[in-house]
Amino acid sequence: MSYFTKKAKKLLKYGNDCFDTLMIKHLKKGELRKIANSRRQEILKQTILSENQKRKIDELFINNYGEKVPFCWHQYFTAYTGNFDEKYIPELLFVPEFEHYMNLKTAYVEVFADKNVIPLIAKANDIKTPKTLLSCAYGIFRNGANEAISKKEVISIFSNCGNAFIKPSVDSCSGHGCLIVNMKSGIDSISGKKADLIIEELGNNFVVQEVIKCHKSITDIYPKSVNTFRIITYRWNGKIEVMPIIMRIGRGNAVVDNAHAGGIFIAVDDDGSMHKTAFTEFRDMYEKHPDTQLVFEGHKIVGMEKVIYAAKLMHASIPQVGIYNWDFTIDENGEPVLIEANTSEGSIWLLQMAHGKGVFGDKTEDVLKWIRKMKSLKLSERENEKG
User: What string of H, E and C letters represents the secondary structure of the chain?
Assistant: CCCCCHHHHHHHHHCHHHHHHHHHHHHHHHHHHHHCCHHHHHHHCCCCCCHHHHHHHHHHHHHHCCCCCCCHHHHHHHHHHCCCCCCCCCHHHHHHHHHHHHCCCHHHHHHHHCCCCHHHHHHHCCCECCCEEEEEECCEEEECCCCECCHHHHHHHHCCCEEEEEEECCCCCCCCCCEEEEEECCEECCCCCEHHHHHHHHCCCEEEEECCCECHHHHCCCCCCCCEEEEEEEEECCEEEECCEEEEECCCCCCCCCHHHCCEEEEECCCCEEEEEEECCCCCEECECCCCCCECCCCECCCHHHHHHHHHHHHHHCCCCCEEEEEEEEECCCCEEEEEEECCCCCHHHHHHHHCCCCCHHHHHHHHHHHHHHHHCCHHHHCCCCC
What does the domain layout of the chain look like in residue ranges?
6-103, 107-128+214-354, 132-210
Class of domain 107-128+214-354: alpha beta
- Rounded to two decimals, what is the model's pTM? 0.85
Q: What is the pLDDT of residues 204-237, one digit of tens each?
A: 889 898 888 999 999 999 998 889 999 999 999 9
Q: What is the pLDDT of residues 57-105, one digit of tens each?
A: 999 999 999 999 999 999 999 998 899 999 999 999 999 999 999 998 8
